[in-house]
Amino acid sequence: MIGVETEVAKRNAAYRAVDIVLERGYKLIGVGTGSTVEKFIEELSKRLGAREGVLFVPSSISTALLLRREGFRVLDASTVDFVEVYVDGADEVSEDGSMIKGGGAAMTLEKILAYSSLFNVFIVDYTKKVKRLGERHPLPVEVVPQALNIVLRKLKSMGLEADVRVSGRGKYGPVVSDLGGVIVDVRVPEKADLNELSETIESIPGVVSTGFFKGFTDLLIVGYSDRVEE
């Protein structure tokens, strides 16, 4: 369960990102998915006066709906070829700024937007910092539904533990991303080189992407209950 302290830490990180976006006057803003990003959107909405001239590119339908609710103008990613800044959260962050993402099943579009962005800001609460990526979260893998059994068999033949993510304890079936992919959670073996593992998994036909992000972090803002660290 998320405690009050974690909520405040997320808010502190999100508010600092709002400072930066406003100071730098970005006009084309990519936006990730998750509870920390929601705080970013809500605070930006309070502090950004005129909406005109500022455009947002969301990484998920849930983020698009929240942006629209706050009166922001939203563009589909297919209509842009870059964003000036991209702001997103993460599930785990290592010392070198590499991350596991995809807790919200949105990592494919998140990675595309981070790739397209001129400047990436990641906002996390202090609980997301880890010594070893994969120590608390599995590696999410988005798979084309038709390839699911073939990919699962391949992952298992590689000695990996892989489970199809389900919603409502399986009552509502597999979790399907906004892009139509099924999410498979792969347990990261303790000694694994995650960069190599992710590349191998992404080379399997039918795999769209993994939630391993490396080399995207321009600025990491870590929120605590009483401060932020950058």
- Residue number with CB closer to ligand 5RP (32 or 72): 32
Binding site for substrate, residues? Answer: 33-36, 88-91, 101-104, 128
**Which chain residues interact with ligand 5RP by CB under 6 A?**
32-36, 88-91, 101-107, 110
- Residue number with CB closer to ligand 5RP (154 or 223): 223
Measured from the CB of residue 59, what is the shortest distance to ligand 5RP in angstroms? 8
110 is catalytic: yes
Alpha-carbon distances, residue 147 vs 43, 164, 182 (angstroms): 41, 12, 10
The span from the CA of 140 to the CA of 138, in Å, is 6
Q: In what order do the strands lie in the sheet with 182-186?
A: 162-164, 182-186, 139-143, 207-210
Say which of 43, 92, 110, 142 is annotated catalytic. 110
Measured from the CB of residue 206, what is the shortest distance to ligand 5RP in angstroms? 20
Measured from the CB of residue 157, what is the shortest distance to ligand 5RP in angstroms? 27
Binding site, residues? Answer: 33-36, 88-91, 101-104, 128
Place of tokens 């593992």: 197
Please, which residues bridge with residue 99 across strands?
93, 213
**Residues annotated as part of the active site:** 110
